[in-house]
Amino acid sequence: MLINSPPPVPVNLDEEMRRSYLDYAMSVIVGRALPDIRDGLKPVHRRILFAMKEMGNDYNKPYKKSARIVGDVIGKYHPHGDSAVYDAMVRLAQPFAMRYTMVEGQGNFGSVDGDSPAAMRYTEVRLDKLAHTLLEDLDKETVDFGDNYDGSLQEPKVLPAAFPHLLVNGSEGIAVGMATKIPPHNLTEVLGATIALIDDPEIDIAGLMKYVPAPDFPTGAFIYGRSGAKQAYETGRGSITMRAKIDIETDKKGTRQSIIISEIPYQLNKARLIEHMAELVKEKKLLGISELRDESDRDGMRIVLDLKRDAVGEIIINQLFKMTPLQSNFGIIMLAVDHGRPRLVNLKEALQAFIDHRREVITRRTIYELRKAEERAHLLEGLAVALQNIDEVIAIIKAAPSPAEARINLMEVEWRFNWEGEARTQKFTQPQAQAILEMRLHRLTGMEQEKLVNEYRELLNLINRLKEILASESELMGVIRAELVKVNEDFGDKRRTQIVDETAELTLEDLIAEEDMVVTMSLSGYIKRQPVTHYRSQRRGGKGRTAVNPKEGDVVERLFIASTHDTVMFFTNRGRVFWSKVYEIPQSGPTARGTALVNLHPLQEGERITATMPVRHFVEDRYVLMATRSGIVKKTDLMAYSNVRNGGVQAIKLGEGDSVIGVAITDGAREVLLTTSQGLSIRFPEEQARPMGRVSQGVRGIKLEKGDEVRSMDILAADCSILTVTTQGFGKRSKADDYRQQNRGGKGLITIKTTKRNGYVVGCLQVLADDEVMIITAGGTMIRIRMKDLRVIGRNTQGVTLFNIDEGDDVVAVVRVVERPEDDDDEGDDGVPPVAPGELPLDA
């Protein structure tokens, strides 16, 4: 133990920890992290502005080195690290961080890309003109001053603040156990609301929101909806949705589109945003973008995304909003220090706190100005009396042996004078006598005497005016109101962030024109769509035209036609089902491979699409009828598949090596036609397959011979004929009546002879005389044939040449073409979209 050391004092560890942590917490809350509700400033910002004012670093004076300001702040008022002070000062000068900058910077002060500012030895600063309104009248005893950290200097505890800075520039901070996040607002709007509250103290939040509808961010962009701001203004907490300003431009040729991003949400790092978008494009999560570049310059922001020819700009924009921070939320927490205590306030309370602060500032300023005016008027009154008795005054001064005796002699005389026609007498006070002795001789000229009298008269009027202000609450509030109007006239501007009223949002379908598309899929898992109109009709036996140019070793596996507004259900070899809108499938040119299905759906290793089905709407009293390669059929309620999930759902329980080959929508009372690769077909009533659950296995539809498998399933309609197509391009059209009805589970009848010339059956579907079909080969060639060019022949025949295919090529798919009437894109004569034979109008 040290000699003469004080004895140890025992303390309770728990109590000491509580007390110390509480002291630390309150220090952070009040002295560092949270703004004062009156001037809206944290201590570090207040000290920076005060130090710059004390240094004479005004807006109309030369810039001073930032290092000099930082040194003054640290040495006199804020004993913390220089980087902390410099960072705080830099933010006050950043136009993308502050709605209204408080510091005018010269040099590199960072950028919206997240670039760091230059070192403080390179940059220069001075006060912004608007900042002077926060510091105005600081020398008129308007606010309390306190000791700095070492007691050597005085610093203001709050600034006079001529406008509600807390709302205008906002504030963010994390304290101990609490945080604040107040967004910036438009100065004109906030001042308008403040004036409205002065005029009508009973105005409610809804009335104030007519002036302040929502925050106004320095980076512009959009705010979607008013509900989040309304909640924040009423309760002090809320969340608003911000969206970037995005436009679509078309090149001069009118062939390509570009997405232009000109404004981004507040506090979003532009460089990181572009990197994120580039990663999404690289990972093929964001499709349809050919080039991404930043064309931003001093004139403004401009991020350009060039689109591929087949990309739809509206879809890409929607994906950008979903996948990137171009749409983000701003959580509002209006927490501020009020009389030394943190408090969550609403809009009216924040404005009222500012008004109360200004009432105190104006009152103290008026008292100060009244005292100074009365002191000056008192001296002027003595000078005026002396001028009216100048000869006697000079004589007394000349006769006195010293200035002190002259002052005493002047104070002993009862002087007579005339003011505004009224005769008075008075003695000089000591300050008046001293002022007379210090008066210069040039004040005895006639002009100077008149100036002195006029100044005295004006001071008397000023004193009366100041007393009126102090005596009347309405006069005092009138002064506050007038000064707010003056600030608005000098610094008010227009709103940057536009507000989009909350409405029923347009879906992508509202933006996409309805058009029939040919969707092709390759064996290796590539998919694309092309307009049906791309393929003109040819006579049977033609050479067709190129529909796809698959990569080496790949072949076209299936083809179907659907509207851009349809939902496509993709069934896999593992019995799962996925959903996609047709417009979500990328459109590609005739020779393009398309897009890998794994980029659209999370297919597992070894999983592939084996059947597809377009659906217009998911409605009640409809069924999904599916058939598998092994001859199993299953019927399930359509609504069981209406819950779209990104990861897909189980659609059917499959046996080993089995897969779904055909899917259709029925009403539960139709006839089913199954056709096998060896040319057998069975026709049976749908009622023989009872409805089952989504994950069930199904029942036998046809009994297969060894080596045979089901190739197609169709739902028959009245007065139709059956078209059968083989791998070698041969086929035939037969009457549906030639296929007699049998019981489910039989072996079926011969629909076409599968010879060496014909090959195996590719597909079997019902058609009408006015229909057209499209046939595609593994090599990517496609032909469109009119059924009226194909005569009806018997069921048990070899058929005729439909497609003159190249040697080594095979037909892989056949599909019926059903186009919508050109004069009515949405409805047929019966008020529902037109459908192909055997398909049900799901809008009925």
Q: Which residues are catalytic?
A: 122
C-beta separation of 608 from 660 below 8 A: no
- Structure-block tokens of residue 94: 């950043």
C-beta separation of 236 from 344 below 8 A: yes
- Structure-block tokens of residue 409: 């002699």
Angle at CA 141, nearest 5°, toward 140 and 142? Answer: 90
Distance CA 115, CA 300 (A): 17
C-beta separation of 258 from 304 below 8 A: yes
Distance CA 600, CA 585 (A): 8
Tell me the Ramachandran region of residue 18: left when phi exceeds 0, alpha when psi lies from -120 to 50, beta otherwise.
Answer: alpha
Distance CA 448, CA 456 (A): 12
H-state helical runs in 542-629:
none
Provide the terminal-to-terminal Cα distance of the chain, rounded to the nearest Å.
Answer: 98
Q: Which long-range contacts (CB under 8 A, 24 or more apart) does 247-251 make?
A: 248/313, 248/314, 248/317
CA atoms within 13 A of residue 106's CA, in its CB half-sphere: 11
CA distances from 505 to 311, 502, 616 (A): 22, 8, 21
Distance CA 676, CA 704 (A): 8
Beta bridge partners of 224: 241, 500
- Parallel, antiparallel or unpaired: strands 498-500 and 222-224: parallel
Distance CA 53, CA 108 (A): 23
The three-state DSSP-derived secondary structure of 607-665 is CCEEEEEEECCCCCCCEEEEEECCCEEEEEEHHHHCCCCCCCEECCCCCCCCCEEEEEE
Distance CA 715, CA 666 (A): 8
Length of the chain: 844
Q: Is the dihedral of CA 496, 502, 504, 507 positive or negative?
A: positive
Q: Which helix (H) or strand (E) holds 22?
A: helix 13-28
- Structure-block tokens of residue 611: 């059947």
Q: How many CB atoms lie within 10 A of CB 482?
A: 10
- Structure-block tokens of residue 580: 């996609």
Distance CA 133, CA 486 (A): 11
Distance CA 77, CA 47 (A): 6
Give the distance, in angstroms, between the CA of residue 750 and the centroid of all CA atoms in the same chain.
62
Residue with tokens 């993709």: 570
Reduced to 3 states (helix: H, G, I; strand: E, B; else coil), residue 507 is: coil
Q: How many CB atoms lie within 10 A of CB 195?
A: 19
Distance CA 203, CA 185 (A): 20
Q: Which helix (H) or strand (E) holds 498?
A: strand 498-500
Burial readout 533-555 (b: 16 or more C-beta within 10 A, e: otherwise): eebeebebeeebeebbebeeebb
Beta bridge partners of 424: 417
